Amino acid sequence: MRPGVRIGVDVGSVRVGVAACDPAGLIATPIETVRRGRGDLDRLAALVAERGAVEVVVGLPTTLAGRHGPAAAAAEEFARRLAARLAARSADGPGAAPGDAAGDGPAARNVPVRLVDERLSTVGAQRDLRDSGVDTRRGRSVVDQAAAVIILQTALDAERHSGTAPGRLVGGTPPPDRRPRDEGAGRNERQNGE
Protein backbone atom coordinates (compact mmCIF):
# COMPACT_ATOMS: atom_id res chain seq x y z
CA MET A 1 0.00 0.00 0.00
CA ARG A 2 1.43 3.34 -1.03
CA PRO A 3 1.49 5.79 1.89
CA GLY A 4 -0.22 9.16 1.80
CA VAL A 5 -3.54 10.92 2.07
CA ARG A 6 -5.92 10.43 -0.82
CA ILE A 7 -9.02 12.42 -1.69
CA GLY A 8 -12.16 10.62 -2.91
CA VAL A 9 -14.64 12.44 -5.14
CA ASP A 10 -18.23 11.59 -6.03
CA VAL A 11 -19.23 13.80 -8.98
CA GLY A 12 -22.88 14.70 -9.29
CA SER A 13 -24.71 17.15 -11.52
CA VAL A 14 -25.42 19.51 -8.59
CA ARG A 15 -22.91 18.57 -5.86
CA VAL A 16 -19.53 16.91 -5.42
CA GLY A 17 -19.08 14.70 -2.38
CA VAL A 18 -15.55 14.71 -0.96
CA ALA A 19 -13.81 12.26 1.38
CA ALA A 20 -10.23 11.75 2.52
CA CYS A 21 -8.22 8.97 4.10
CA ASP A 22 -5.57 8.94 6.78
CA PRO A 23 -1.87 8.98 5.74
CA ALA A 24 -1.65 5.19 6.14
CA GLY A 25 -4.54 4.73 3.69
CA LEU A 26 -6.60 2.67 6.13
CA ILE A 27 -9.92 4.45 6.45
CA ALA A 28 -11.88 6.99 4.42
CA THR A 29 -13.93 9.69 6.14
CA PRO A 30 -16.26 12.39 4.79
CA ILE A 31 -14.91 15.94 4.42
CA GLU A 32 -17.51 18.15 2.76
CA THR A 33 -19.88 18.63 -0.13
CA VAL A 34 -18.88 21.15 -2.80
CA ARG A 35 -21.51 22.82 -4.96
CA ARG A 36 -20.93 22.16 -8.70
CA GLY A 37 -20.15 25.19 -10.82
CA ARG A 38 -17.96 28.22 -10.43
CA GLY A 39 -15.13 27.57 -7.98
CA ASP A 40 -15.68 23.82 -7.53
CA LEU A 41 -12.29 22.86 -9.00
CA ASP A 42 -10.57 25.59 -6.99
CA ARG A 43 -12.12 24.25 -3.77
CA LEU A 44 -11.06 20.69 -4.57
CA ALA A 45 -7.52 21.86 -5.41
CA ALA A 46 -7.45 23.72 -2.08
CA LEU A 47 -8.54 20.57 -0.22
CA VAL A 48 -5.81 18.57 -1.97
CA ALA A 49 -3.23 21.18 -0.91
CA GLU A 50 -4.57 21.57 2.65
CA ARG A 51 -4.43 17.84 3.28
CA GLY A 52 -1.19 17.25 1.39
CA ALA A 53 -2.93 14.60 -0.72
CA VAL A 54 -0.82 12.35 -2.91
CA GLU A 55 -3.70 11.32 -5.19
CA VAL A 56 -7.32 12.03 -6.06
CA VAL A 57 -9.74 9.19 -6.78
CA VAL A 58 -12.82 10.13 -8.82
CA GLY A 59 -15.76 7.74 -9.07
CA LEU A 60 -16.70 6.60 -12.57
CA PRO A 61 -20.40 5.62 -12.76
CA THR A 62 -20.57 2.29 -14.54
CA THR A 63 -23.71 0.25 -15.21
CA LEU A 64 -24.01 -3.30 -13.92
CA ALA A 65 -23.34 -4.39 -17.51
CA GLY A 66 -20.05 -2.46 -17.45
CA ARG A 67 -21.20 0.29 -19.80
CA HIS A 68 -20.57 4.02 -19.51
CA GLY A 69 -23.41 6.44 -20.10
CA PRO A 70 -23.81 10.22 -19.84
CA ALA A 71 -23.00 10.28 -16.10
CA ALA A 72 -19.70 8.49 -16.78
CA ALA A 73 -18.84 10.92 -19.56
CA ALA A 74 -19.54 13.83 -17.19
CA ALA A 75 -17.37 12.27 -14.46
CA GLU A 76 -14.52 11.68 -16.94
CA GLU A 77 -14.71 15.29 -18.14
CA PHE A 78 -14.74 16.55 -14.53
CA ALA A 79 -11.73 14.34 -13.70
CA ARG A 80 -9.83 15.69 -16.75
CA ARG A 81 -10.58 19.27 -15.72
CA LEU A 82 -9.53 18.54 -12.13
CA ALA A 83 -6.28 16.93 -13.30
CA ALA A 84 -5.56 20.00 -15.44
CA ARG A 85 -6.37 22.30 -12.52
CA LEU A 86 -4.06 20.37 -10.18
CA ALA A 87 -1.31 20.39 -12.82
CA ALA A 88 -1.72 24.18 -13.22
CA ARG A 89 -1.57 24.55 -9.44
CA SER A 90 1.68 22.55 -9.35
CA ALA A 91 3.33 25.13 -11.63
CA ASP A 92 4.52 28.45 -10.30
CA GLY A 93 1.93 30.46 -12.13
CA PRO A 94 -1.64 31.69 -12.01
CA GLY A 95 -2.92 28.34 -10.70
CA ALA A 96 -0.48 28.16 -7.79
CA ALA A 97 -1.77 28.81 -4.33
CA PRO A 98 -0.89 32.20 -2.87
CA GLY A 99 2.46 32.03 -1.11
CA ASP A 100 3.58 28.84 -2.85
CA ALA A 101 6.97 29.02 -4.47
CA ALA A 102 7.92 26.70 -7.29
CA GLY A 103 8.82 23.35 -5.82
CA ASP A 104 7.59 24.19 -2.28
CA GLY A 105 4.54 22.99 -0.38
CA PRO A 106 1.83 20.49 -1.19
CA ALA A 107 0.47 22.48 -4.13
CA ALA A 108 3.86 22.44 -5.87
CA ARG A 109 3.80 18.79 -6.93
CA ASN A 110 1.78 17.05 -9.57
CA VAL A 111 -1.07 15.14 -7.87
CA PRO A 112 -2.39 12.33 -10.05
CA VAL A 113 -6.12 11.85 -10.60
CA ARG A 114 -7.53 8.35 -11.07
CA LEU A 115 -10.93 7.18 -12.26
CA VAL A 116 -12.29 4.15 -10.39
CA ASP A 117 -15.46 2.13 -10.87
CA GLU A 118 -18.12 3.45 -8.50
CA ARG A 119 -20.87 1.01 -9.29
CA LEU A 120 -23.73 1.42 -6.81
CA SER A 121 -21.81 3.76 -4.45
CA THR A 122 -24.72 6.21 -4.13
CA VAL A 123 -27.21 3.37 -3.67
CA GLY A 124 -24.97 1.89 -0.95
CA ALA A 125 -24.55 5.28 0.71
CA GLN A 126 -28.31 5.87 0.76
CA ARG A 127 -28.94 2.41 2.18
CA ASP A 128 -26.29 2.81 4.90
CA LEU A 129 -27.56 6.25 5.89
CA ARG A 130 -31.21 5.12 5.90
CA ASP A 131 -30.23 2.15 8.08
CA SER A 132 -28.65 4.57 10.56
CA GLY A 133 -31.78 6.78 10.65
CA VAL A 134 -30.75 9.62 8.31
CA ASP A 135 -33.45 11.04 6.01
CA THR A 136 -31.63 10.81 2.67
CA ARG A 137 -34.13 13.11 0.93
CA ARG A 138 -33.28 16.02 3.23
CA GLY A 139 -29.62 15.15 3.64
CA ARG A 140 -28.51 14.86 0.03
CA SER A 141 -25.16 16.53 0.73
CA VAL A 142 -24.51 13.84 3.36
CA VAL A 143 -25.33 11.18 0.75
CA ASP A 144 -22.74 12.72 -1.62
CA GLN A 145 -20.07 12.62 1.10
CA ALA A 146 -21.01 9.05 2.04
CA ALA A 147 -20.75 8.01 -1.62
CA ALA A 148 -17.28 9.62 -1.79
CA VAL A 149 -16.31 7.60 1.31
CA ILE A 150 -17.47 4.37 -0.35
CA ILE A 151 -15.57 5.22 -3.57
CA LEU A 152 -12.36 6.00 -1.70
CA GLN A 153 -12.60 3.09 0.76
CA THR A 154 -13.23 0.66 -2.11
CA ALA A 155 -10.15 2.01 -3.93
CA LEU A 156 -8.01 1.75 -0.77
CA ASP A 157 -9.16 -1.81 -0.11
CA ALA A 158 -8.55 -2.80 -3.74
CA GLU A 159 -5.00 -1.42 -3.64
CA ARG A 160 -4.29 -3.09 -0.32
CA HIS A 161 -5.52 -6.41 -1.75
CA SER A 162 -3.87 -6.22 -5.20
CA GLY A 163 -0.77 -4.14 -4.44
CA THR A 164 -1.42 -1.93 -7.46
CA ALA A 165 -2.96 1.52 -7.80
CA PRO A 166 -6.70 1.34 -8.51
CA GLY A 167 -8.50 2.46 -11.65
CA ARG A 168 -6.88 4.37 -14.45
CA LEU A 169 -4.81 7.51 -14.51
CA VAL A 170 -6.40 10.64 -15.99
CA GLY A 171 -4.30 13.01 -18.10
CA GLY A 172 -0.93 14.38 -17.01
CA THR A 173 2.03 12.16 -16.31
CA PRO A 174 2.45 9.52 -13.65
CA PRO A 175 4.25 10.59 -10.50
CA PRO A 176 8.06 10.27 -10.76
CA ASP A 177 8.19 6.89 -8.98
CA ARG A 178 5.73 5.43 -11.52
CA ARG A 179 7.33 6.65 -14.78
CA PRO A 180 8.75 3.96 -17.05
CA ARG A 181 12.51 3.67 -16.79
CA ASP A 182 14.66 4.66 -19.72
CA GLU A 183 15.49 1.30 -21.29
CA GLY A 184 19.03 2.33 -22.15
CA ALA A 185 19.76 3.41 -18.58
CA GLY A 186 18.26 0.18 -17.27
CA ARG A 187 20.53 -1.95 -19.48
CA ASN A 188 23.61 0.01 -18.39
CA GLU A 189 22.62 -0.36 -14.75
CA ARG A 190 22.20 -4.14 -15.19
CA GLN A 191 25.52 -4.42 -17.02
CA ASN A 192 27.30 -2.50 -14.25
CA GLY A 193 25.65 -4.67 -11.59
CA GLU A 194 23.53 -1.85 -10.22
Burial 144-154 (b: 16+ CB within 10 A, else e): bbbbbbbbbbb
Q: Which residue has the higher pLDDT, 121 or 30?
A: 30
Q: Of 151, 155, 122, nearest to 139 (Cα)? A: 122
Give the mean pLDDT of 6-34: 96
Burial (CB count <10 Å: 0-12, 13-18, 19+), residue 179: exposed
pTM here? 0.75
The helix or strand, by DSSP H or E, that contains position 182, with its residue range, turns out to be none
For residue 177, pLDDT over 90 is answered with: no
pLDDT of residue 62: 82
Q: Is pLDDT above 60 for 9?
A: yes
Q: Which residue has the higher pLDDT, 191 or 48?
A: 48
In terms of C-beta distances under 8 Å and separation of at least 24 residues, what long-range contacts does 37-43 make, across chains too?
A: 40/16, 41/81, 41/82, 41/85, 42/85
Please state the rounded mean pLDDT for residues 86-96. 64
pLDDT digits (tens, 9 = 90+) for 36-87: 999 999 999 999 999 999 999 999 998 777 788 898 999 999 999 999 999 9
pLDDT at 183 over 60: no
User: Which pLDDT score, from 0 to 100, does residue 123 have?
Assistant: 61
How far apart (Å, rounded) are the C-alpha atoms in residues 22 and 53? Answer: 10
Q: What is the pLDDT of residue 79?
A: 97
pLDDT recorded at residue 120: 55
pLDDT digits (tens, 9 = 90+) for 97-155: 443 433 444 444 689 999 998 875 566 666 666 676 666 666 676 888 988 999 999 99
pLDDT of residue 130: 66
